[in-house]
Structure 1
Amino acid sequence: AINPNYIASRNLVGPVGNTVSLLIDQLIATAGANPDNIYIIGYSLGAHAAANAGKAQNGRINTIIALDPAGPLFAFGQADAVSPADGRYVETIMTNAGLNGINTPLGQANFYPNGGRTQPGCGTDLGGSCAHDRAPTFYAESVRAGTPFRAMRCADHGQILAGSCT
């Protein structure tokens, strides 16, 4: 069963995103912020909240980074879920796709470290929280590391799982 606190939090991703959008409006109006320079990064439920801020800004935000967007009670195409139209560039990093994270590519670029479901060092991880929690760490490493992560283009998630990407 899903925790009732999760359900309440899940139902607030739209209002939280709208509040962030109002803050962005204030930054633009009073501080001269430029949407070209705005990046919104969110993890789990926060990934969907970040996307909702982008939706409220009509997709004019430069970049939205969705770190293992929450999966329970979300589906691709839902009005308050991450979508490629939420910003000019929307990227996802999926580390626990299909359990705590959504199992659908939601961005213009979708990264699945180590296949995107389980992560090295997490052991059995039946609840998936260890793998899910790796998304922010991987993102931080990707922007700090001197050596870029290796990536391969895949047609879909099934190709990733089959190991047949080129």
Structure 2
Amino acid sequence: MKMAVFARNLRSLIAAHHDGNVSEAARALKINRTQLNRYLMEETWPREAQLRQICAHFSTDARLLMEPLDTINAPAPAVTVHDGIAAIAAERQRQIEVEGWTPGHDDQHQGAELAQAAAAYVLNCCDDSDSPARRFLGADIWPWADEWWKPSGDPRRDLVKAGALIAAEIDRLDRMASRVVSAEGGA
């Protein structure tokens, strides 16, 4: 459903800025036309770098992925403060599409494991040692098997992973709350 929102937004922006000419838009965006068509056909999401190009070109931000254009208040400047949001959204999409961590899978983690995993990645960025070897502080609270603990050594990358896990946990909590309301008869 959200992929449809992104595709609709992208079609609207191409229509407004390039008279609907996908080839012209692809050249301006420096994105392969076939890849751009895959976004328009709701086949895939853009990677983080391509999302940044799209947002900068159309003077918008990462809300383009999830919100209809008419609900996005004011366009953001070409260099946005929302690069972190775009990175988190792209990582969450990668987790779903590449890793298979779908909402249904996330719903199985009812003991705050997603939030705990996010905290582990955040802690990993708090290494204050002067040692050349990183300490990977978050490993102590990692909720799953060690093979799934994949710190990058790059604080930004680990914070992006944490943000995506936080988003997954928020979505899980929202789905759970929605089910409770539905079970109570829409109260």
- TM-score, normalising length from structure 2? 0.27
Larger radius of gyration: 2
| Greater helix share, structure number | 2
Q: Which has more strand, going by share of residues?
A: 1
